[in-house]
Amino acid sequence: MAIRQIVRYGNPVLRNESKPVEKIDDKVKQLVQDMFDTLRDAKGLGLSAPQVGVNLRVFIVDLTQVDFDAEPLVMINPEIIEKKGEVIGEEGCLSFPGLYFDVPRGEQVVVEYQDLEGNRKRIRAYGLTARAVQHENDHLDGVLFIDYLSAAQRDLFAGKLKKIKVG
């Protein structure tokens, strides 16, 4: 069990474009295990590698907290190849403690990725899974959920953002 420190808004690592995983070696497997430990400790629903300071294209989604039957997902080198519909729903992000607001996302997505064994997978995700996949996938491109704020919302949250921001 190894809990890594979650990087907070303001750390430049969150704005980098993350690099593809070339080889799923022990280091990558350890990273994923640590990410699960970190996510469960923080009681979050999803976590991307950049949020623990590693600019690799890896994220996890674990909805077991809200849905007992949910299957924890590990997505390596993911690509969203289809997006359908639009739905607005509340989101938070572990790099922005205490900040929650409505974000528009695709209602369903088809995502291709590699699992921990390197197998190519393709799934269609709906509902909260689709939302989490889009949020985490954005992290790999240095995109943060605050980028979806309108100018008015941005003003509204300016004070809160300033408090959260490090550096």
Question: Looking at 8-133, which runs of residues are DSSP E strands?
Answer: 46-48, 58-61, 73-91, 101-114, 120-126
Closer Cβ to Ni ion, 21 or 136, answer by number = 136
Choose one: 33-41, 92-100, 108-116, 122-130; the region binding Ni ion (CB under 5 A). Answer: 92-100
Instruction: Tell me the C-alpha distance between 158 and 161, whole Å.
Output: 5
Which of 6, 56, 73, 93 forms a contact with Ni ion (CB under 5 A)? 93
Closer Cβ to Ni ion, 7 or 118, answer by number = 7
Q: 48: part of which helix (H) or strand (E)?
A: strand 46-48
Query: Minimum distance between the CB of residue 51 and Ni ion, rounded to whole angstroms?
Result: 6
Choose one: 7-15, 33-41, 90-98, 122-130; the region binding Ni ion (CB under 5 A). Answer: 90-98
Query: Minimum distance between the CB of residue 93 and Ni ion, rounded to whole angstroms?
Result: 3
Catalytic residues: 136
DSSP letters for 3-19: PPPPPPTT-GGGGSPPB
Given a contact cutoff of 8 angstroms between Cβ atoms, the answer to whether 138 and 109 are in contact is: no
39 part of the interface to Ni ion, by CB under 5 A: no
Query: Minimum distance between the CB of residue 120 and Ni ion, rounded to whole angstroms?
Result: 25
Query: Radius of gyration (Cα) for the chain, nearest Å?
Result: 15
* Closest chain position to Ni ion (CB): 93
Interacting residues toward Ni ion by CB under 5 A: 93
